[in-house]
Amino acid sequence: MARLSLTPDLGAIVEFTDAGVRMPRRRRRRGDGRRQRLRRIAGEVRRDEVWRLRNATFAVAEGESVALVGGRGAGQEALIRLAAGTLIPDEGRVRRRVEVVPMIDVARSLARTYTVRQNIYLIGGLLGMTPEEVSEKLGGIVAFAGVDGILDKYLGTAPPIVRQRLAWSIATSTDARAYAINQILVVGERDFRQQCWTRMDRMREDGVTFLLASDSPKQFRRFCDRALYLDAGTVAAETTVPDALAMLREARRRDPAAEAESPEDGDETSGGSDAGSV
């Protein structure tokens, strides 16, 4: 993980001040990739940019668990990435008192051509751990993920649910004081999910801070203290979790065609693929 400048005397764990970020507009591509690249080089294609998040001003105190509630494309992922520092704001600023570990598509960063052991060192380093720290925590990561039997085997043949368990175990072993989580708070089969909840609850009791974007209202109700409601790239309200979920339901009722409905109380994870994984 990139070494970001920290503000040790900051009162909050994370503080946004009029922060915004632009990203290219997603459009259906016409023609093959090579043709598109040649057209861009020739200046025949212009990449339009849109504001994914703008004028975001709020703070997250130490030990809070904050739900990011909104419809599809409302800006949750951009906010999560800004908080963790994997995106830099195009306007305003984001300050952090401590490093914020991004639990964002970690499973997709696992390399199939590396062994499980090599992947633990790779992902642990990406998330801010030194090789010495990884070595110290290796036994706990392996035991929690249940991969002791394949530690020195290549990851390529491991099923997706094993990759999810491994990624989750590495990320939560960093001993970070703050996490930015996109979609999946707990992973794996039912028994493993319960172990995840136990660890997460223990981390909360220890004062760890969480920012959570998810399509599962059940996770918000189970885990979060308060909510930010996002609408069209803006933080429209700082409120309670029930009120934010009510605002989302009302927005969908007014415009049901705006997005595909997400399951209101779906399971925490299907465990069947890497899509949306930790």
Pairing assessment for the beta strands 178-182 and 101-103 based on DSSP bridges? parallel
Q: What pLDDT shows up at residue 16?
A: 97
Q: Look at residue 31 and tell me whether its pLDDT is greater than 80.
A: no
Residue 252: pLDDT band (50, 70, 90) is confident
Condensed to tens digits (0 to 9), the pLDDT of residues 67-87 reads 999 988 899 999 999 999 999
Phi, psi of 52 (to 5 degrees): -80, -25
Work out the mean pLDDT of the chain and round it to a whole number. 86
Of 36-45, 81-90, 242-251, the one with minimum mean pLDDT is 36-45
Condensed to tens digits (0 to 9), the pLDDT of residues 140-156 reads 999 999 999 999 999 98
Q: What pLDDT shows up at residue 50?
A: 87
Residue 23: pLDDT band (50, 70, 90) is confident
Q: What pLDDT shows up at residue 274?
A: 40
Domains in the chain, CATH or no CATH each: 17-100+180-278 (3.40.50.300), 103-175 (no CATH)
Q: What pLDDT shows up at residue 73?
A: 85
Q: What pLDDT shows up at residue 143?
A: 96
The Cα 245–Cα 215 span in angstroms is 11
Q: What pLDDT shows up at residue 276?
A: 43
Compute the average pLDDT of residues 100-126: 93
Q: What pLDDT shows up at residue 171?
A: 94
Please list the residues that pair with 103 across neighbouring strands. 181
* 70 touches 80 (CB < 8 A): no
Compute the average pLDDT of residues 169-183: 93
Compute the average pLDDT of residues 209-231: 94
Compute the average pLDDT of residues 210-226: 93
Condensed to tens digits (0 to 9), the pLDDT of residues 267-276 reads 444 343 343 4
Find the farthest-apart pair of alpha carbons in the chain and give their distance in angstroms, rounded.
57
Q: Residues of the chain with pLDDT > 90: what percent? A: 67
pTM, two decimals, is 0.82
Q: Residues of the chain with pLDDT > 70: what percent? A: 84
Strand order in the sheet with 91-96: 49-60, 14-24, 91-96
The answer for 86, left when phi > 0, alpha when psi is -120 to 50, beta otherwise, is alpha
Compute the average pLDDT of residues 236-264: 80
Of 120-124, 187-191, 219-223, the one with minimum mean pLDDT is 187-191
Residue 264: pLDDT band (50, 70, 90) is very low
Compute the average pLDDT of residues 45-68: 89
Give the three-class secondary structure for 187: coil
